[in-house]
Structure 1
Amino acid sequence: MMKKRCMALTLAAVMAFSVTAFGASNPAQNGKWESAYGNGTVSAEKEMYATTVRSMLSGNVTFTLPQEAQGKKLYLALVDTEDWLSGGEEAFYYGFLEEWKNGDMKMIYMKGEGNVFTVPLTEDTMELKVVYDDERKAGRSISLVALGGSQYADNLFAEYEDQLLVQDLISLYYRPDYKNEIEMVPCTIDVTIGADIMQVDGKSYPLDVPAYINDAGYTMLPMRALVENLPEEVQKKVIWDGQQRTALLLCGMTTYRLTDGQKEAEKDGQLWMLKSPLEIKEGRVFLPLREIVTFWDQSNIQWENETKTVHISADMVHFLE
């Protein structure tokens, strides 16, 4: 079974409020959707994983369904996010779905023909744990799609094309089992307060919003620009959930979850207290310098007061394949 190209839904003329379409450029995660059988919502708790080859990965999705949808079915599949968004063809991945109710597992849905999951809609709220059990691809992510078309019996989205339902529900990374599977990569970073460029290992990268010093006196650095411009060998990724105002980060072997305005964060799933929370300035996420350098086991900071420049040197993890 191969996926079809995404097409955004057409809003019904009678809608009195805006609806987030399922289209690839605007997925409906944590938003509203419509179908010929009424309107509902979908929300997703996305996670970033550092994993061994033998582990199984999962993400949680909650549907709020209109009464008209009951008796219909959802046809769901797992896809590689990058392949889907680029419009390439990709076979659906292996896995299974667990339906939960009030903290208890109600049903397990196994893959059908072509790795498609058929989920009957019987209630107004449905909680699914989506479990991925297929090939691990370092640095890639898995998205959940809803299949359209009348070839599926009682399909909730019979009148629509295949749609991206939750983007980047599960992100895939390797965590090595032994120390000899990694090496340390030295890196230098130079960021000047107010400058429109930063340097990583002597190479310049543009900043549309410069670093600054906040009211509490903390040096604030642009999170995405700093992480994504690290050396190519370094395992890294940033996912921003605008609905939850939460950043998910991977640096080396460590994953982080940080939320706007909150000092309580997570580091590899454990509580991690920040001296100062992340801040959003002109649409960009900034983190305090003192928190950013904890992303690496070995790092050193130097401050050049005359030029107001931060010099960071650090050893970063490179996974040996």
Structure 2
Amino acid sequence: MKRFQTIVAIVLAVVFMFTTMGISQAEAVGGTLIIKEPVYYQPQLLEVISNKDGSITGEVMVDSRYAASVILQVSDGTGEVIREIELVNESKKGIQAPSGIKKKISTNTKLLRVDGELRSVNVTIISFTVPAKILELSPNEYEVSVETSNTVVKMEHTEYQYSEKQTIGIQGGKVLTTSFPVSFPGALEMDNDGKLIITLNLTSIYDKSTFYLVVMDEKSRQVKRIKLKTKQRTISSKDLNLDTGTYTIYIEVSDVKGSANSNRVTLVIPDSSKVISGDDDFPGYVKVSEDGMITINLKITSEYQKAKFNVVIKNDNGKIVKRIPISTKNSKISTKGLTLSSGNYEILLEMVLQGKKYYSSAASWSYGTSHVFSVPTGQAFPGGIKVNTNGTITINLQWKSSYSSYHANVVVYDIYGDVVKRIPITDKNPMISYRELGLSTGGYNIVIEIVDPDSEMSASTLPTFIPINQSKDIVIFIDGELQVFKKAPVEINGRTLVPLRAIFEALGARVDWDEATQTVTAMKDGTTIKLTIGSKVAYKNGKKLNLDVPAQLFNGDTTMVPIRFVSEALGAKVTWDGYSNAVIISND
């Protein structure tokens, strides 16, 4: 009897440990206890800001099970940790942090999607300010990250988690060395119009330094070396008076102690005597077959290496109804997966180079006008597709007895119109989940298709876009294409913030930055947008636009704004897909 009681006690203790210590989640199904794999939240540095007085301010979110010890780590240019600053120590609860570190700690619940299921994780949020006297860092660039652990004292069974590193530039503080900084104090960018944009984060260490704009040709020969004024922030590439060719440009800062170079940008100067209009001068051409297969031929030379290419489809009225980004690898695109109604179209190539657009000769194409099929296509198709908020797709097909010899399928196309999945329809109104499709992260179009196997004629619904996201991060789609940005979207206080410059430029806008006033100016099609970092008010052609949260500067170089601002500012259609954790932007 005692042995039985002992076994029962052990089992109950194990169950209690699983359900109370956060090791894993458990639930009872039909009298059976099912232990689920534990879910953890990786620590995230939500933001880190370098202040003018040499202090840093930031916010970090960590899994509460790993909040016994939270340490801010600062690394130098070699990756070596040179400072460890204690933000949380469970053994010191209630004790005011020595050394003047300011912090605020709160708790919340984070929902994570695991295998299509929402799981909750308790998180701890620490807002902090570390003064310059604690950091003791010279003005320079450093990497910061967070180390968390589940015990205060480091032991053999202690488990650790680490956040991703972020780069910051220390602007003040205690100078520990008189040697020249290894990293360049700023960055160099070039907009679509070929204007060079200079960002400098200057401190007293650079008072006696000289800045030069250096231009190198394709053979790495220096062809220009121009002394810059420290207040000079923009240079037009036209003012450089360069011959046709490809150039590498960077900024050099130097004094008696040494020198450092900025990042490099590439400038392509095309032959100014060449007028690109039509296939005679355009670096490529496009053809289209009767069945709607678009064949692309590009001849990329060095002067077009930095150009971006699109396939453009125009309707009878000359309006662009579809713009499809392409690369030199995409030699063919099928129109079957594109949102097109019956009619006559022109298909041509578009090249964007240094802010200007050029077009090839057009190929004519007629869609759905030469054959008559008993099943109507497009909006008149007898059925439709509904994308649900829980990651499922409802297929509604109004089947008629006259269709008995036809086949019905659900067809999935990628953004280039290629078929990636074809699923026969067996039920009248089936439901398909995103998971069943087995697709990788990306944008897809899905249609219902009815095919006559004898004549091979077919009809289909208008395509419905579905975003697939196999990661835990927020992703962005613009006109169906998955975007990859230097700074990923972030969620702050329930609001999703996105990188302004990257998205506005992808939508065809020109973006300028004024360092002195911390103001962003964006221009597109006669519309001018202005907003200032830290302000909840922007201006569209002089009229006020209110932001949900202020525009914020991340890592000193990326302006982040709420997604709704993109819609209000440029008239783009912006939607949020909660299941896929995706921002969907349409430029139509």
TM-score range, shorter chain: 0.3 to 0.5
Higher RCO by CA contacts (8 Å cutoff, separation 6 or greater): 1
TM-score (norm 1): 0.40
TM-score (norm 2): 0.26
Structure showing greater radius of gyration is 2
